[in-house]
């Protein structure tokens, strides 16, 4: 065999060896590699995270360990792609390591293995080392030291290393095949729990209860186990359908805060059948933090105030007699979500808290109510409580059965008296709402009614100040 042939053969072998990638090599990526992060938060403990990082990847198979992802990540939704070289990465396997490094976890991993036990002499301060085998680490520590067994830790333990399957941060390890070595920008997208948002509104009524100033706030809560620095923040309002799984959901952490007026910072747009709100600046959402961002400000929104006495269908099914004394009359305010009333922005569901200034100009809390997602040009109706100075007495004055021998063909006639009392210094109008079942018609009435729906009769009764008004009516009901 010639010397030239041997050199050529060695060159071929050397080239082959150098081209074979090293399996098991791990490239660790931390938040220092992060170039951009975007977070889209939905209503029910769900968020979409898009995490862009610049990493230096070798050619061929490699394990990319992405540290400081959300601890509540749903690994089955994770998608890694290269923005620098689209299609250049082939994903072979993904593993989410959430077994985090703690003293107890470290001890558990060394059950059946040897560690060093260090005892310090109390007088000389000299350390004495012994080899100990960890036998158990459940409710306590059991060690075998030489030919004896000891419980507890009679000193301090020194471990030779940290096991590879223990991480100090939640880490997603992606095994991939890279077609070209060098730096590239990757984007990891995934769904996660632990991030939520809600809308909170603060309204202040004017002295006449004819208008209000409305401020809207977005309250963000981050319990995902990681921080999102300088994130592009977007919020989705709407009821997104989700396939429910066994993922344990944590409750939101509520936080009350004094909300000063601020300029709105969010821009709204329609997206599919939902509404998307985008914060017009980057923001940092720290782990275990509640953050508030201004959503809207509207001044001088026209308001209609209503006193409402609500009836019950059972009144009309039998002989009742007295139906209540000093009944509560509900207090409602209603306004239109439209541009000409200084609103017109789709309102995410949330709680509206209403205040009004007393005679000394101090704002006082007068009630709150929850609203659902409210599109533009829809009405917002809030029940703030029950009136103190407006009450009602209700009684049935007559009842008789006209015909029928079963509950499917009964015909009844009944009469009622409702006495409305007003102790206020000004007159009020009370809406009496009666849900009348079956087929019905009003035979007699002291005030004219309107038919609000198939089963509701409404009366608007003017009650003078320091006085009372009486509504009487007779109705025929057929089932």
Does 453 reside within a domain?
Answer: yes
Among 158, 177, 200, the domain-final residue is 158
Q: Which helix (H) or strand (E) holds 385?
A: strand 379-403
Question: Is the torsion defined by CA of 186, 190, 195, 201 positive or negative?
Answer: positive
What average pLDDT does the chain have? 86
Does 391 reside within a domain?
Answer: yes
Asked if pLDDT for residue 247 goes beyond 50, the answer is no
Does 12 reside within a domain?
Answer: no
Pairwise pLDDT comparison (163 vs 15), residue with the higher score: 163
**CB 376, CB 390: distance < 8 Å:** no
Q: Which residues, 6+ apart, have CB-to-CB distance to 172 below 8 Å?
A: 65, 66, 69, 73, 75, 78, 94, 95, 96, 97, 188, 190
Distance between CA atoms of residues 333 and 191, nearest Å? 39
The encoded tokens of residue 357 equal 């200034």
The three-point CA angle 419-335-466 to 5° equals: 25
**CB 132, CB 145: distance < 8 Å:** yes
Does 33 reside within a domain?
Answer: no
Does 439 reside within a domain?
Answer: yes
CATH label of the domain that carries residue 390: 2.60.40
Distance between CA atoms of residues 327 and 129, nearest Å? 82
Helix, strand, coil percentages in the chain from 3-state DSSP, rounded to 5: 10, 55, 35
Residue 97: count other Cβ atoms within 10 Å of its Cβ. Answer: 17
Q: Which of 208-222, 250-264, 369-383 has the lowest mean pLDDT?
A: 250-264
Residue 263 is predicted with a pLDDT of 56
Residue 255 is predicted with a pLDDT of 32
Distance between CA atoms of residues 294 and 271, nearest Å? 21
According to DSSP, the β-strands at 89-97 and 171-178 are antiparallel
Residue 431 is predicted with a pLDDT of 97
Residue 306 is predicted with a pLDDT of 97
In the chain, the number of structural domains is 2
Residue 246 is predicted with a pLDDT of 47
Radius of gyration of the chain (CA): 36
Q: Which of 216-220, 261-265, 402-406 has the lowest mean pLDDT?
A: 261-265
Percent of the chain scoring above 90 in pLDDT: 61
In 3D space, the residue among 218, 216, 250 whose CA is nearest the CA of residue 234 turns out to be 218
Distance between CA atoms of residues 463 and 392, nearest Å? 11
Across the chain, how many H-helices and E-strands are there? Answer: 2, 31
Distance between CA atoms of residues 252 and 235, nearest Å? 16
Distance between CA atoms of residues 303 and 161, nearest Å? 69
Confidence of residue 271 (pLDDT cuts 50, 70, 90): confident
**CB 390, CB 329: distance < 8 Å:** yes
Does 195 reside within a domain?
Answer: no
Distance between CA atoms of residues 161 and 144, nearest Å? 20
Strand stretches in 78-227, DSSP E: 79-82, 89-97, 114-120, 127-136, 142-145, 148-151, 156-158, 171-178, 182-192, 195-205, 211-222
Domain assignment of residue 327, given as a range: 304-337+378-478
pTM: 0.71
Q: Which of 72-81, 113-122, 239-248 has the lowest mean pLDDT?
A: 239-248
pLDDT in tens, 345-367: 889 999 999 999 999 999 999 99
Q: Which residue has the tokens 């849900």?
A: 435
Does 232 reside within a domain?
Answer: no
The encoded tokens of residue 221 equal 């809560």
Asked if pLDDT for residue 451 goes beyond 50, the answer is yes
Q: Which residues, 6+ apart, have CB-to-CB distance to 442 below 8 Å?
A: 449, 457, 473, 474, 475
Does 44 reside within a domain?
Answer: no
Among 137, 158, 179, the domain-final residue is 158
Q: 3-state DSSP call for residue 106?
A: helix
Q: Which residues, 6+ apart, have CB-to-CB distance to 122 below 8 Å?
A: none
pLDDT in tens, 17-67: 333 344 457 899 999 999 999 999 997 789 999 999 999 999 999 999 999
**CB 151, CB 142: distance < 8 Å:** yes
**CB 233, CB 281: distance < 8 Å:** no
Distances from the Cα of 386 to the Cα of 117, 312, 382, 390, angstroms: 71, 17, 12, 9
Distances from the Cα of 229 to the Cα of 23, 32, 38, 51, angstroms: 33, 11, 9, 11
Q: For 166-283, where are the alpha helices, taking DSSP H only?
A: none
The encoded tokens of residue 423 equal 């102790």
Which among 58-62, 125-129, 271-275 has the top mean pLDDT? 58-62
Mean pLDDT of 224-246: 83
Residue 254 is predicted with a pLDDT of 33
Q: How far apart are the first and last CA of the chain?
A: 111
Mean pLDDT of 74-103: 86
pLDDT in tens, 189-213: 999 999 999 999 999 999 999 999 9
Distance between CA atoms of residues 146 and 392, nearest Å? 87
Mean pLDDT of 405-419: 89
Distance between CA atoms of residues 205 and 217, nearest Å? 18
Confidence of residue 284 (pLDDT cuts 50, 70, 90): very high
The encoded tokens of residue 456 equal 């509701």
The encoded tokens of residue 101 equal 């490094």
Distance between CA atoms of residues 25 and 22, nearest Å? 6
């Amino acid at each position: 065999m010639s010397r030239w042939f041997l050199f050529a053969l060695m060159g071929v072998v050397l080239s082959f060896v150098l081209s074979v990638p090293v399996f098991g090599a791990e490239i660790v990526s931390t938040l220092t590699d992060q170039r951009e992060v975007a977070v889209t938060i939905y209503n029910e403990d769900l968020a979409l995270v898009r995490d862009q990082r610049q990493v230096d990847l070798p050619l061929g198979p490699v394990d990319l360990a992405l540290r400081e992802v959300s601890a509540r990540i749903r690994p089955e939704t994770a998608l890694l792609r290269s923005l620098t070289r689209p299609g250049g990465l082939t994903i072979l396997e993904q593993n989410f390591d959430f077994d985090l490094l703690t003293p107890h976890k470290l001890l558990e991993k060394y059950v059946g293995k040897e560690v060093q036990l260090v005892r310090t002499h109390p007088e000389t301060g000299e350390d004495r080392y012994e080899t100990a085998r960890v036998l158990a680490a459940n409710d306590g520590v059991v060690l075998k030291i030489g030919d004896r067994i000891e419980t507890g830790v009679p000193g301090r333990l020194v471990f030779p290393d940290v096991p590879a399957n223990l991480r100090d941060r939640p880490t997603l390890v992606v095994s991939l095949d890279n077609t070209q070595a060098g730096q590239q920008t990757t984007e990891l997208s995934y769904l996660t729990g632990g991030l939520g948002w809600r809308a909170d509104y603060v309204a202040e009524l004017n002295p006449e209860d004819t208008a209000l100033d409305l401020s809207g706030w977005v309250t963000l809560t981050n319990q995902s186990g990681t921080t999102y620095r300088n994130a592009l923040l977007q919020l989705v309002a709407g009821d997104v359908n989700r396939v429910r799984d066994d993922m344990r959901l944590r409750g939101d952490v509520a936080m009350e805060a004094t909300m000063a007026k601020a300029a709105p910072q969010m821009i709204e747009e329609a997206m599919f059948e939902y509404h998307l709100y985008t914060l017009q600046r980057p923001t940092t959402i720290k782990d275990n933090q509640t953050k508030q961002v201004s959503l809207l400000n509207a001044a001088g929104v026209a308001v209609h105030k209503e006193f409402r006495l609500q009836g019950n269908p059972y009144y009309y099914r039998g002989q009742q007699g007295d139906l209540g004394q000093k009944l509560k009359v509900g207090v409602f305010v209603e306004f239109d979500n439209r541009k000409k009333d200084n609103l017109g922005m789709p309102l995410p569901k949330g709680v509206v808290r209403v205040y009004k200034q007393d005679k000394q100009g101090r704002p006082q809390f007068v009630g709150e109510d929850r609203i659902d997602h409210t599109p533009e040009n829809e009405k917002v109706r809030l029940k703030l409580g029950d009136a103190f100075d407006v009450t009602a007495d209700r009684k049935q004055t007559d009842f008789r059965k006209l015909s029928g021998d079963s509950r499917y063909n009964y015909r009844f006639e009944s009469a009622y008296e409702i006495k409305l009392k007003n102790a206020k210094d000004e007159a009020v109008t009370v809406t009496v709402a009666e849900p009348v079942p079956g087929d019905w018609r009003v035979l007699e009435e002291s005030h004219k009614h309107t038919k609000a729906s198939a089963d509701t009769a409404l009366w608007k009764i003017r009650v003078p100040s320091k006085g009372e008004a009486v509504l009487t009516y007779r109705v025929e009901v057929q089932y």
